[in-house]
Amino acid sequence: MEISFNNTKILATVGPASNSFERLQALVKEGVNAFRLNFSHGEYSEHLEVINRVRDINRQFNTSICLVQDLQGPKIRLGDVVGGGVEIKEGQRIQLVCDGSVSTQNRLSTIYEGLANDVNPGDMILLDDGKLELKVISTDKHMTVEAEVVYGGIVKPRKGINLPDSNVSAPSMTEKDIQDLHFGLDNDVEWVALSFVRRLEDINEIKRIIKERGKDTRVIAKIEKPEAITNIDEIIAATDAIMVARGDLGVEVGMEKVPMIQKMLVEKSNKAGKPVIVATQMMESMIVNPRPTRAETNDVANAVIDGADCLMLSAETAVGAYPIETIRSMSLTIRMVETNADIFNKSYVLNPHSNTFYNDSLVASACYLARDTNAHAIIGMTKSGYTAFQLAKHRPKSNVFIFTENERLLTTLNLVWGVRGFYYNKFESTDATITDIKETLLEAGFIKKGDVFINTASMPMGEQKRTNMIKLSIA
């Protein structure tokens, strides 16, 4: 199967429009690098079928498609609504109660028991992705909130509630999330995305569970709360990757702030060498249309220019009418930007106090050498994946080929900018290994005679050490 390849990766959500083996295979052929399993929907049996199908594709076609489990998080919602919907009007006073009962026109109910305790007079309460707005008049801090309707409309069952002015007391992981996480760990998903991250402790808790299970699943912190922006430096330091979750983020902080927050998050993640995913409404119109809007194409292009490692599609591939066309359009836009924009060869001031400073300096030097010699490829050998993340951080224009004996790492790295992984377990002397890898790449057509390429490795070969060697070669 011939597969499209761009440096900027594509993460596609799986749903009824894409969960068959044939459709998943077609999406991979068009350029999907990772599939997202959305645990806000679906039964375990359905998710397990997708997991098995993706792994069958990897085995049959020698691909390294990875799986991202997306936990629902403490989503605050309304309960059921009488008659399937009621209208509330501007200036109307209503009660919002925390008992999970059926909502009526003058009394709305939420399944979140902590709402009355979390809000204060003057706080804003947004319903249905911000379409309706209430202002808190008073709260008994236990069960009932008195509010005034600022912007009215039809209240529909089980729509989301956002509290942009309030500190939500609910933990980042609910009981459902913990149960779902164990299912993901049982099935060895490569990445797990934690929703509504607010602080360092949220990351530490999920990593504690993963470590106790003896797993190496990596964590993506979804940034969609104002508190996360406040604590962003410690969150980036603790997590393995960041997702700019623009849907709830736009409701929580105001959509006009999202573009600059996106750029800030991407820049900070790039500097830290942590993959960053841009998500939500990237090609929303393609849920029902075979072509994207000009604005959506520009959004995709700008995310690539900003420095995103990966772009995520949600309903477009989960339930949309044109999932294959969506991936094709996104791949073409990514390729056009990467061919024409100045997005390569980034340089950073490294931290001299870091315990990896010397290794990081060497990897940076390999990227500078590749730039100055117009090298066709940089080749890294790794067991932990650290070298791959560091090479990607510098966005070399040269192809990045990573060789490892850790088979699981091959799929994990498929979310990382520019990285192409190869299984390799014949580490001998440094010279013999470099020669063997060169022949492998020549035979596969990834390099050709006369190409300059840069090798990085640890010496002595095969020992568990950080990268400490650079070698320039000509094929």
Catalytic center residues: 36, 77, 222, 280
Q: For residue 313, what are the contacts with CB-CB under 8 A and spacing of at least 6? A: 10, 11, 12, 13, 282, 283, 326, 327, 330
Tokens standing for residue 7: 């440096």
Closest by Cα among 331, 218, 233, 347 to 275:
218
